């Protein structure tokens, strides 16, 4: 299985820029996607195919990367962005990262 | 609009079979792949399997021996059945729509159904 590694937690202040990283154990080309999950809710698609913004998602969210290293950027961060962010690859079966919990100070 | 809703038993005894129904609206099951994903305390988000728009299925090898996904297009329903349940299968089970025919990312999710495996 392709293992996706994410840092467990981040804390930033409103208005700042935050980058959330995801590293794959092997190359997944650009078959990487990002979700936001708020407590008690289902995941929500933010970015697909590494850098494409899902319809209806604010342009504050962006994605980049290819191969093994990927980044989700939120700029500027807002209080409502408090959530856990997951990456998911679709190159080799489908696997998810363990999530990065974002706290807004 | 697109909606997905899972219904299931809530509590299942160990060794028994889990059955969950996902009822969809706003799109046709013959035009989209449908995925099942679960979220457990031990392993987080796990892809379980999917059913293609044509009705064939694929499963995560971790579940392959005990998982079955099927559908009834006339009722707009997708079904998950998993046998030989263990306490580690406790978690939230989601159905999700694949964004395209084999896009393998999920643009709509149900709200999930919590399943507890306990005697």
- Between chains, do B47 and A54 touch, taking CB under 8 Å as contact? no
Residue B102 pLDDT > 90: no
Q: Which of B64, B89, B63 is nearest to B8 (CA)?
A: B89
Is B101's pLDDT higher than 80?
no
Query: In chain A, what residues touch B35 (CB-CB under 8 Å)?
Result: 94
B37 pLDDT more than 90:
yes
Q: Which of A54, A86, A93 is the closest to B45 by Cβ?
A: A86
Judging by beta carbons within 10 Å of its beta carbon (0-12, 13-18, 19+), is residue B23 exposed, middle or buried? middle
Residues 6+ apart with CB under 8 A from B38: B45, B46, B48, B89, B91, B92, B93, B94
User: B64: pLDDT confidence band, cut at 50, 70 and 90?
Assistant: confident
Q: Which of A42, A48, A88 sits opposite B112 (nearest CB)?
A: A42
| Minimal C-alpha gap between A93 and chain B (Å) | 7
Measured CA to CA, the distance from residue A46 to residue A105 in angstroms comes to: 22
Chain A: give the shortest CA distance to residue B6, in Å.
Answer: 12
DSSP for A48-83, please give it: ETTTEEPTTS-TTEEEEEETTEEEEEESS--GGG-E
- Provide, rounded to the nearest whole percent, the portion of chain B with pLDDT above 70: 100
Counting Cβ atoms within 10 Å, is residue B47 exposed (0-12), middle (13-18) or buried (19+)? buried
pLDDT at B69 over 90: yes
Calculate how close chain A gets to B24, using CA atoms only, in Å. 16
Q: Indicate whether B100 pLDDT > 90.
A: no
Chain B hits for A90, CB-CB cut-off 8 Å, are 103-105
Q: Show residues of chain A in contact with B61, CB under 8 Å.
A: 93
């Amino acid at each position: 299985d392709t293992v996706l590694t994410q840092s467990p937690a981040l804390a930033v202040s409103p208005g700042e820029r935050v980058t959330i990283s995801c590293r794959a154990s092997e190359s997944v080309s650009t078959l990487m996607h990002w979700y936001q999950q708020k407590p008690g809710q289902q995941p929500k698609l933010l970015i697909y195919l590494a850098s494409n913004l899902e319809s209806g998602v604010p342009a504050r969210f962006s994605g980049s990367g290819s191969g093994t290293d990927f980044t989700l950027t939120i700029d500027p961060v807002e209080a409502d962005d408090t959530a856990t962010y997951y990456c998911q690859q679709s190159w080799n079966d489908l696997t998810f990262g363990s999530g990065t919990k974002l706290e807004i100070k | 609009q697109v909606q997905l809703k899972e219904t299931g038993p809530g509590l299942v005894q160990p060794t028994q079979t889990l059955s969950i129904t996902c009822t969809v609206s706003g799109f046709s099951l013959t035009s989209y792949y449908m995925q099942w994903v679960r979220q457990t305390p031990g392993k987080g988000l796990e892809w379980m399997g999917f059913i293609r728009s044509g009705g064939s299925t694929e499963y995560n090898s971790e579940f392959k021996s005990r998982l079955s996904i099927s559908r009834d297009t006339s009722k707009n329903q997708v079904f998950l059945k998993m046998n030989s349940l263990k306490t580690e299968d406790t978690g939230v089970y989601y159905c999700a729509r694949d964004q395209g025919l084999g896009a393998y990312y999920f643009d709509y999710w149900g709200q999930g159904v919590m399943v507890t495996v306990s005697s």
